[in-house]
Amino acid sequence: MGVKERKLRQKEEVRCQILDAAWQIVKEEGWQSLSMRKIADRIEYTSPIIYGHFENKEALLQEFTRKGFVKLCEMIRAAYQAHIDNAPARLEAMWMAYWNFAFANRESYQLMYGVEMGCCTIKNGIPESEECAEMINSTIQEIIASGKHPDADPCLKYFTCWSVVHGLISINITRNPEALHQSDDDSPNLNELILKDAIAGIVSQMLN
């Protein structure tokens, strides 16, 4: 009598179809033109059924935001663990991971930080988001502790780092899709150089 299980499975499958269709539309036309009716069209249902799976459109978007932070968190965690013995290098690696995530997942980043989402908020209910902030903040604290300004505010340094990186990403992500960010050849692109320079500057301000 696995009828309940089957129905649950079917419902879960429709949920996936909704997310897949939504993601497809976003990739093709952008977040701006994503609508419940368009999603329903693609999965050959009518729009009200979506409300059986997501409370409203915002909740649906929130699901993508959540997924984005999970992925971002993975990448930052990898960078964290790869430089566990060197705090300045770790900080740079984590922000580079952030940078790479933004360009490998443009649409996600735009939803996570761009349009209306409260940007750079430490508390936003998504645990992975807080874990990202925690890893970066602890590294900053480590750098500050080993430097000549132990009274520096790590939170403000975090904001400063974030503003450089996010600002640079903002420049590149909305406008020229491939103008400045061309990693075609082996040489790192100019933006990455700027980024590393800026972070190195902040680190040096913490140390000296």
Partner DNA sequence: TTAAATTACTTAACACCGTTAGGCAAAATT
Partner DNA sequence: AATTTTGCCTAACGGTGTTAAGTAATTTAA
Q: Which residues bind its own copies (CB under 8 A)?
A: 32, 115-116, 118-121, 153, 156, 159-160, 162-168, 170-171, 174-175, 190-191, 194, 197-198, 201-202, 204-205
Residue located via tokens 């995530």: 101
Closest approach of DNA to the CB of residue 107, in Å: 16
Of the two residues 77 and 196, which places its CB atom closer to its own copies in the complex?
196
For the segment 10-39, give every residue that binds DNA (CB under 7 A): 11, 14, 33-38
Closest approach of DNA to the CB of residue 37, in Å: 4
- Residue 116 interacting with DNA (CB under 7 A): no
Residue 170 binds which one of DNA, its own copies, none, with CB within 5 to 8 A depending on kind? its own copies
For the segment 35-94, give every residue that binds DNA (CB under 7 A): 35-38, 44-49, 51-52, 56-58
Closest approach of DNA to the CB of residue 196, in Å: 40
Helices within the chain (DSSP H only): 3-29, 36-42, 57-82, 87-104, 106-109, 127-145, 154-174, 190-207
Of the two residues 40 and 171, which places its CB atom closer to DNA in the complex?
40
Residue 152: helix, strand or coil by DSSP?
Answer: coil
Dihedral of the alpha carbons of 29, 64, 93, 149, in degrees to the nearest 10: 120
**Maximal C-alpha separation, the chain:** 70
Q: What is the DSSP letter of 189?
A: P
Of the two residues 9 and 159, which places its CB atom closer to its own copies in the complex?
159
Sign of CA dihedral 71, 94, 143, 201: negative
Closest approach of its own copies to the CB of residue 37, in Å: 20
Of the two residues 22 and 203, which places its CB atom closer to its own copies in the complex?
203
Of the two residues 114 and 154, which places its CB atom closer to DNA in the complex?
114
Closest approach of its own copies to the CB of residue 109, in Å: 14
- Span between the terminal Cα atoms of the chain, in Å: 70
Q: Which helix (H) or strand (E) holds 47?
A: none
Residue 91: helix, strand or coil by DSSP?
Answer: helix
